[in-house]
Amino acid sequence: MRYSAVASPLGDLLLVGDGESLSGLYFADGRQPPTLDPSWTREDAAFDEVSRQLCAYFAGELTEFSLSLAPHGTPFQQRVWSALRTIPYGTTTSYGRLAFELGDARATRAVGLANGRNPIPIIIPCHRVIGADGSLTGYGGGLARKRWLLAREGRALPFV
């Protein structure tokens, strides 16, 4: 595996991948801070395109990422993460709505758990999923980052 660190308006981000696809993006001080495996190699150049697109997103110049992604997870998690990528920039959905769209309206909790295990936040936009009542719910990078990302996308939310 290869990795790189990139600065962002949300703090340092750790990027992890195989040189072809991105498999992880982690907030250095998030809920589950990353641990560098001693076998990994730092290779910043392998993540030039990821870094470029993240910078453009943070600058408000990019609304859709075009990157090769390889998140590791269960088949259900993969379905949820794929569905997350269809949520348009500047919009939000609820966990219940996402469960309904995946074919099982009763799977709200399972969708929430899969959302919380998203290994590539921002690019796989789990921040666009909010509570059914419009409230912010958990986010691995913290609610302040979730609020910032939604505001960056023009989605103003009340402070509660």
The confidence score (pLDDT) of residue 127 equals 95
Predicted TM-score (pTM) of this structure: 0.92
pLDDT per residue rounded down to tens, the chain (160 residues): 999 999 999 999 999 999 999 999 999 887 776 788 899 999 999 999 999 999 999 999 999 999 999 999 999 999 999 999 999 999 999 999 999 999 999 999 999 999 999 999 999 999 999 988 888 888 888 899 999 999 999 875 544 3
Residue 126 annotated as catalytic: yes
Rounded Cα gap, residues 53 and 56, in angstroms: 5
The catalytically annotated residue of 15, 126, 129, 136 is: 126
Point out which residues pair with 5 in neighbouring strands.
14
In CATH, what number is assigned to the domain containing residue 93?
A: 1.10.10.10
Domain-located, residue 159: no
Residue span of the structural domain in which 8 resides: 2-58
The type of residue at 14 is: L
